Structure 1
């Protein structure tokens, strides 16, 4: 089932209407009719659409990765593809945050805005975070996770619980083991393989039905509620920060991903962006790499010609560990907050920002707003006050949309690069 152009057009129209109507209603923020419309119309449409997509995330990731591992066939080849995938993601993430910090140092978005630190938003955010820490301690939960604990948590002791908690890394680990077991047993489990293939067909059919009948309405609701809450007023207040983040995202998308497609995959960047446009529009509206995963897989396989087994392995992994758009936000936000705080970061501190952001991106859930959690880790690592995140909270949802579109494009670019490399290797042999 190919993704139809008219569906993409309907989603884009819904995006435009959501921006226009949401921005108009933001002018009357606080009015009872605006609050009611936002809560009972925009929010309901958006959340139903998100729930329908999230309903499929765990089964799609589980089935896709199992089939991807089985399709690769050779565990050694699987290991080779896995290493290439992780190296691609970590390299582009480091490049993303470096581009962001360089642009922030050039444009100086935080210069002359020291008064923002005294805002109510900062105080409110600080109080909320203190309350969360106290609640976590009261429940006996760890407020910080050490590196060794992160490694241990890659492996589920209860895969069913991992699926219930949507713990993507544990689901991926379990799926890889299932796939390797199916490869080892071969024809003995041919029936199970057929079952997974049929389950995949069912899931993709449901995805297309959701996209056909619900996507435009859900997209409109999500974008309309985001702009009703934030509007262009917040953008005006933080215009330079907003501008630098968008510029860094555009540069990274065109130069890094476009360059990878041109130089490594030997394909046209225009062909890539055109073929992946439907998934990018859904990513923009949902602000979630995981929620967009089913449509991303469909675009990569049908529109970009990525081998199914490679797409099914690379993209779910990317939705978990590849957060280039989020890294860009962290780079700009760190320099921005340092500038309004009157702090000049040293070269060593900037290197720390890059390192912490890259490491933090591994295992971060692909859900809306998670970038702010990672940003708090980055700010703490260089001695800046995480409470300053409250300043950018108002427009983060709007930027989260663009970050997600970049994140999923990076996953697809990696899948195209690896798929084309494997095709060339087979043709040589």
Structure 2
């Protein structure tokens, strides 16, 4: 059921993307170099630019962008509280939880750093020279001490109202940990946040169901005035993101696994095959949870007491693929709009995206909402998302495959360090073959 809905949404977004691009090119032919196409009517002159480009497409696109921004604060706060509430065992919070969270955050920081580095080397957005409706004002770089001090809110409600995401993230982490340690009162609060999370996820679903129309409006307006050369920049962006995703999954994870456990990375990657395919098809870490758990326990030999903790935690806080997209997209959009980001800005992107990965829910499309947050954090125009939204669905599927690979790798490392890994099962190529008999459709319903 979920796969059919996912595929249907993908088709609709692709149709909206293609229709928007074709409509934009058609209007560009009618109105070259920013001119207007006017049809004289009996009572008035009908202007294509006023009615379509500056009217329907502008309104529809801006409403969609505003909806993305609207969900940022509630999504991050509620998801983060739910994620940290799951650490209700103080022993696990202190030992297993610390190991898992540390590894997840480190790999995320490595992922976005690599993404920004490659994007700066390739420069996929150079030469576009677009102009934003929002003027970029360069900021004086704060000191490291000031950055750390400003991460802690004196008034969390002010942080919510102003969209100061670092402060929201820190408050959510502290609130979630306190909730996890508050006994029965905390359990009642945790149940409330689980329900709130379901409501927020429903809002995300509603927004993503409207995404094809938002994509159409954004791209139709964009391609009315865009130059042909920009297409090559978009392809360059796509390839840079894809390259970093593959490098992270096939180089970073295997190296970390080998260094920290001594296990064979080739065996690990082979046993991840079914899980990766499933994650790619659903574009959802949460939907892939049953398959990831089955793979890490039955195929790889991790004890269920470890995997049942680290895998759901990873589906909540480990979003390396999303961080990679955010890093490349930030550089791409900055180059497109001719904005020179400082070292301080890049460090802020790394810090924000790493911490925000904890609050990025494992459902399709959430990465775009988180990208809006990162762009806001460094003052870049959120409308730049229109440039990449058309190709984001395929990248979203690939990002999910990378995320679940990271979840499984960290599970292996933690299980090995705790003495709860059966290496005979890990090295057995036939272990857990019954996973292939799982009815995926039932698990997705």
Q: TM-score range by the shorter chain?
A: 0.5 to 0.7
Of 99, 103, 116 in structure 1, the residue corresponding to residue 118 of structure 2 is 103
Q: Mapping of 1:54-65 within 5 angstroms?
A: none
Residue 298 of structure 2 corresponds to 302
Q: Which sections of structure 2, spanning at least 5 residues, go unmatched?
A: 23-81, 134-159, 180-185, 200-208, 220-227, 424-445
Residue 308 of structure 2 corresponds to 312
CA contact (8 A) 1:89 1:321 kept: yes
Q: Mapping of 1:413-428 within 5 angstroms?
A: 413-423=409-419
**Superposition TM-score, scaled by structure 1 size:** 0.60
Residue 79 of structure 1 corresponds to 94
CA 401–24 in structure 1, closer or farther in 2 if over 3 Å, else same: closer
Q: Mapping of 1:230-241 within 5 angstroms?
A: 238-241=234-237
Of 390, 401, 406 in structure 2, the residue corresponding to residue 405 of structure 1 is 401
Q: Mapping of 1:104-253 within 5 angstroms?
A: 104-115=119-130, 144=163, 146=168, 147-149=170-172, 151-152=174-175, 155=179, 157-166=188-197, 238-253=234-249
CA contact (8 A) 1:235 1:242 kept: no
Of 358, 369, 381 in structure 2, the residue corresponding to residue 362 of structure 1 is 358
- Structure with higher Rg: it is 2
**Could you tell me how far 1:143 is from its partner in structure 2?**
7.2
Deviations 1:365-399 (A, max 9, x none): 11111111221221122221112111111111111
**Could you tell me how far 1:424 is from its partner in structure 2?**
8.3
**Could you tell me how far 1:423 is from its partner in structure 2?**
2.1
What is the RMSD of the two structures over their aligned residues, measured on CA atoms? Answer: 4.0
**Could you tell me how far 1:284 is from its partner in structure 2?**
0.8
Residue 337 of structure 1 corresponds to 333
Q: What is the CA–CA distance in structure 1 between the aligned matches of 2:421 and 2:350, rounded to whole Å?
A: 34
Q: What is the CA–CA distance in structure 1 between the aligned matches of 2:413 and 2:296, rounded to whole Å?
A: 11
Deviations 1:316-373 (A, max 9, x none): 1111111100000010001101111112222111111111111111222111111112
User: Which is helix-richer, 1 or 2?
Assistant: 1
Residue 291 of structure 1 corresponds to 287
**Could you tell me how far 1:113 is from its partner in structure 2?**
2.0
CA 426–308 in structure 1, closer or farther in 2 if over 3 Å, else same: closer
CA contact (8 A) 1:330 1:378 kept: yes
Aligned length: 297
Q: Which sections of structure 1, spanning at least 5 residues, go unmatched?
A: 1-10, 32-60, 70-74, 119-140, 169-221
CA 374–312 in structure 1, closer or farther in 2 if over 3 Å, else same: same
